[in-house]
Structure 1
């Protein structure tokens, strides 16, 4: 065995007074912070749910005339932009109109309730589309090649 070396070459233990102070990381924020954060997150969540479920009120009568379509004259593509109809119902309305006009040579739809016999159109749809439709009584329902896909 080798003898142990003494002096400067010997391993020295560090002096605890010269060591840097240990850093302490907090385990968790204070409880009051967690409570406040929970309240804020709950409020944000409730607000998001509220915004997702609120329907816009319909505009007052006479103010929303930008989209006002006559189902006796409109093509299926024009009817398809009416909120609540879409392309399938619009095409069904046009085909129903064509069959009524061919059978009677008169206006197919005199009012919004006349849409009720159309397949896929019921009371809920009629209420949804009522404000977007206008009806003429001139007996000139249009039937063009644009009426079909």
Structure 2
């Protein structure tokens, strides 16, 4: 089982727009990551996002680049300060590959908790539009399969 943890793309400031949509850079960076991921031919059961506009836009862009069984949908428990424990329980028994699009500090705490059992250590630097792929072994342990951020990809 794989889970793809994705931080939303760069968003407008709340002073600019209270809805905080993706900026031009945020959209372009997410499209660049999506294009690369598209070449990997990923199959994902579902993409779930926090419901915040920037996460929804990121999820929609990525959803166009992967093979989806169930589509893109809002899910509870993915906002910045949500408790990671419900997702740890869900992911520990999940049999389907999921992509979760959310926010900091939630994503960092979830990745740390899955990998180390503690939410405290910083495991990955989730820049905007970063995707962290975690894979679960048959024994239930998690490991980092790969990490991709726009900075790692060539400019187009």
TM value normalised by structure 2:
0.22
What TM-score, normalized to structure 1? 0.22
Max Rg structure: 1
More strand by share: 2
* Higher relative contact order, structure no. (Cα contacts within 8 Å, ≥ 6 residues apart): 2
Larger helix percent: 1
